[in-house]
Chains A and B, each alone.
Chain A
Amino acid sequence: MPESEIELRDVRKVYYKDRIDIPVLEGLNLSVPAGEFAVLMGPSGSGKSTLLHLIGGLDSPTSGSIRVADSNLEQMNERELTAWRSRNVGFIFQMYHLVPVLTAAQNVELPLLLFRMPSSERRKRVATALGVVGLGDRMDHRPNQLSGGQEQRVAIARAIVTDPRMILADEPTGDLDAKTSEEILNLLNTLNTEFGKTILMVTHDPRAASHGQRLLHLDKGVLERDERTPARAPAAVS
C-alpha cells in the first residue's frame, strides 16, 4: 500500500455567515496515496471546492487534522501555508487566471519568481513545462492570442513548473468543449502516469471523472461513496 499523500481525519468545516453556522464538511475522513488520480464529484454546495481548498492549504478546517505532503496543515499559519503551497501544490482553475499582459512563458515563469534561481534555469524550466503541455511553439503568445484549451495548458504548465508533489484541479475542463476537455484530461493523465504527480480533480462531468482512478462522491459535506475505477493503475511513485 503506497504511503498517503493526503490524509484527512475527522475534518469539519463550518462557515459563519450572518450569525448562522453553515456546516460544509461533516467529520470527513479521507486518504489519498501518493501518485493517485482521484476525482471529487457531487452536486453544487456539497463541499467539493471547500475540500480542495483545505487540502491545498488555501483555507483552514474548523476542526480535525489535515496532513498533506508530510505537513500538518492545521498547525501552520498563513505565511507557512503560502510557502508550503509554492513548493508542494500546483493549482489549476476553471477560468485559467492567466495574467493577460504577460506571455505564455512569462505566466509560467511567475511561480519561479518565488525561488532563488538563475534566470537561465528559470527559462529552462519554463521551456520544459510548456513542452510537456505541447505549447513549446507558443511561448511568446499572450493569453488573448491563445484558444481556451491552450490557455488551460499554459495554466497547467504554470502549475507544474515548480515540480510540485500534487496537482489540485478545480473544474479544469468546465469552460472547454468536449474535444479540448479530452486533451486536457489526457494531459493530466500523462502528468499522473509519467511524472508521478498526485492529482485531485473536482468535476461535474462524468466523462472527465472517468479519467481518474478513484471517484469520491460528496453530498452535503459527507463522503457518500468512494469507488475505484480499475481501468487505470496508480502511478509509480519514486
Chain B
Amino acid sequence: MTITYVLMQNLRRNPLRAVLTATAFALPMAVFVAAISLVVLLAKVSIASQKELRLGVRHKVSLINMVPEGMRRKIEELDPDHDLLRAVCGMRWFGGKVPGTQNTLTSLAADADTFPIVYSDLGLTEKETAKWHSDRLACVAGSAPVEQYGWKVGDRITLESTVPPYMSLEFHLVKVLTAAERGNVFYFRRDYLEEALKSANVPSNRVNIFWVKCASAQGLHDLQNRIDAAFANTPDETKSEDENAFMANFTQASGNIPGLMQAMAVVVVFIVALVAGNTMMMSFRERSRELATFKAIGFQSGRIFAIVLAESALLALLGALAGVIPTALVLTYFPVKNLRMGPISSFDVSPIAIAVSLIIALLVGLAAGLWPAYQALRLRTVDALRKVA
C-alpha cells in the first residue's frame, strides 16, 4: 500500500460527492478544451499570416467600399524595381453559395496573373497553376465546401452570388485546399467575373482589396506607410494592414470571440474552483478527527497538508480527464464542420489545448484544496480528538 493508494481510496469515501465534483470539472473542461483549441487555431492562422508577408490594402472607410482596379498599377509603381514588393493581387467579393443552400462561401475573385504568386502558400503545383492560367473558369476551394457538397477536382461547380447583381457562374475545380485555416475559401479568376459583370451591364473594374506580397517584414512595413501616404487625400484613401491584423479584424467582426471565450473560461474556472473548494472543505471537516489520528500516529503536518492538497488535485485531474478525453475523441473523429469563422471552416482538438486544460484543472484543484490543506496543516490534534468526547 502507498499513500497514492490511500488517496485513490479516499475518493471512494463519498462516491456521489466525488462524482458530482468531478463532473463539475469535467463539463467546463470539455467546453474549455474546445474553446482553447479554437484559440490555438486562430493563433496558428495569425502565425501563418505573419509568415506569408501579405499586406492588405483596402478603402479606408471599409472593406465594402471598393477601390478602382487601376490602383494596382500605382501600388506596383511605388516599388518599380520590386525590392520590397513581389506581386499585387486584386480581389473582389462574390459571396457565392451553392444553389438551393444557405451557406455563403468566402468566395473571392482574384487577379489571375498574380494570384499563384501572392498565394504561393496554397501549394498550387505547376500543373494546377497552368490550369488556373489556361482555364478562365478555374477555381480552388477549401476542404469544407468540397466535403459538404461532394466536389472533386475537375468537377463543374455553379455558385450564385449573394451580392448584386446576384449572378450565377459556373467554375471548374482545379485544386482542393487542405489547410484548416483555408477550409472555407473559394477563389476564382477575376477576369471571368469582370466579363460576367460587363455582360450584365454592371459597372465594374473595382475591387474590395489588394493583397500585396512583400519581400520582407521590413519591406511590408515600409510599403504599408508608402501606400497609405500615396493615396492620402484622394477619393480612395487606403488603409493597409498585414494579413494577421486583417484576419483578426475579420474573425472578430461579429464580436471578440477569443476574448469572450477567455472571459467565459475565467468565470467558469472561478466557479469550479469555488465548488471544488467548498467540497474539499466539507470533506476536510468530516475527516478532521481522522486526520488528527493520522497526526497522532506519526504523520507529519506537512505530509497531511500534502495529502489533502493531492486529493483535491487528483479529483480535479480525474474530472478534467473525464471531460477532456471524450471531447478530444469526439472532435478527433467528428471534427466540427461549417464553423465559418472567416476563412476557418473546421477545428479539432489541439494537443496544446488538452495540455492547457489539464494544467488549469490541476491548478484549480490545488487552489481549491489549499485552504482545507492549510486547515489540516494547522489542525491541533488534541482539539480535533476532543470533538469526539
Query: Which residues of A come within 8 Å of B, CB atoms?
Result: 49, 53, 56, 58-59, 78-79, 82-83, 85-87, 90-91, 93-95, 97, 99-102, 106, 109-111, 113-114, 119, 122, 158-159, 162, 170-171
Asked whether A110 lies within 8 Å of B297 as measured between CB atoms, the reply is yes
CB distance from B92 to the nearest CB of A (A): 69
CB contacts (< 8 Å) of B388 on chain A: these are 93-95, 97
B3 and A113 within 8 A (CB): yes
B366 to chain A, nearest CB (A): 22
A99 interface neighbour in B6, B301, B381, Cβ under 8 Å: B6
| Cα–Cα distance between A106 and B290 once the two chains are bound (Å) | 15
Are A101 and B9 in contact, with the CB atoms below 8 A?
yes
Q: Which residues of A contact B381 (CB under 8 A)?
A: 53, 58-59
Q: Can you name the residue of chain B whose Cβ is closest to the Cβ of A95? A: B388
Select one of A78, A85, A94 contacting B389, CB under 8 A.
A94
Chain B residues contacting A109 (CB-CB under 8 Å) are 1
Are B293's CB and A85's CB within 8 A?
no
Determine whether the beta carbon of B290 is less than 8 Å from that of A86.
Answer: no
Does B127 have its Cβ within 8 Å of any Cβ on chain A?
no
Provide the bound-state CA to CA distance between A83 and B9, in Å: 25
Interface 0/1 of B338-349, CB less than 8 Å to A: 000000000000
Of all chain B residues, the one with the shortest Cβ separation from A50 is B382
Please indicate the chain B residues that have their CB under 8 angstroms from the CB of A99 in the complex.
Answer: 6, 9-10, 290
Q: Is the CB of B10 within 8 A of A86?
A: no
| Centre residue among A59, A110, A122, A171 by max chain B CB count within 10 A | A110
CA distance A111 to B290 in the complex (A): 13
Q: Which residue of A lies closest to B292 (CB)?
A: A97
Complex Cα gap A94–B387 (Å): 12
17 contacts between A and B (CB under 8 A): A58-B296, A58-B385, A59-B381, A79-B301, A82-B299, A82-B300, A90-B297, A91-B296, A93-B385, A94-B389, A95-B289, A97-B290, A97-B292, A100-B13, A106-B1, A109-B1, A171-B389
User: How many whole Å from B380's CB to the nearest CB in chain A?
Assistant: 8
Which B residues are in CB contact (< 8 Å) with A102? 1, 6, 9
Q: Which residues of B contact A90 (CB under 8 A)?
A: 297
Q: Which 10 residue pairs are nearest across A and B when measured between Cβ atoms?
A: A86-B298, A97-B293, A101-B9, A111-B297, A59-B382, A58-B381, A91-B296, A95-B388, A53-B382, A114-B298
Q: Give complex CA distance A170, B389 in Å.
A: 10
| Chain A proximity of B297: nearest CB distance (Å) | 5
Which among A83, A87, A95, A97 has the highest number of chain B CB atoms within 10 Å? A97
Residues of B with C-beta under 8 A to A93: 293, 385, 388
State the Cβ distance, A88 to closest chain B Cβ, in Å: 10
B298 touches A58 (CB 8 A): no
Q: With A93-B385, A97-B289 as known contacts, state yes or no: A158 contacts B297, CB within 8 Å.
A: yes
A58-B382 in contact given A78-B301, A91-B293 (Cβ < 8 Å)? yes
B190 interface residue (CB < 8 Å to A): no
A101 and B298 contacting across the interface, CB-CB below 8 Å: no
- A91→B289 CA distance, assembly (Å): 13
Q: When chains A and B are docked, how far (Å) is the Cα of A99 from the Cα of B286?
A: 12
Additional A-B contact list (14), CB under 8 Å, known A102-B9, A111-B298: A56-B296, A58-B385, A82-B295, A83-B300, A86-B299, A91-B296, A93-B293, A93-B385, A97-B290, A97-B292, A97-B293, A100-B13, A119-B1, A162-B298
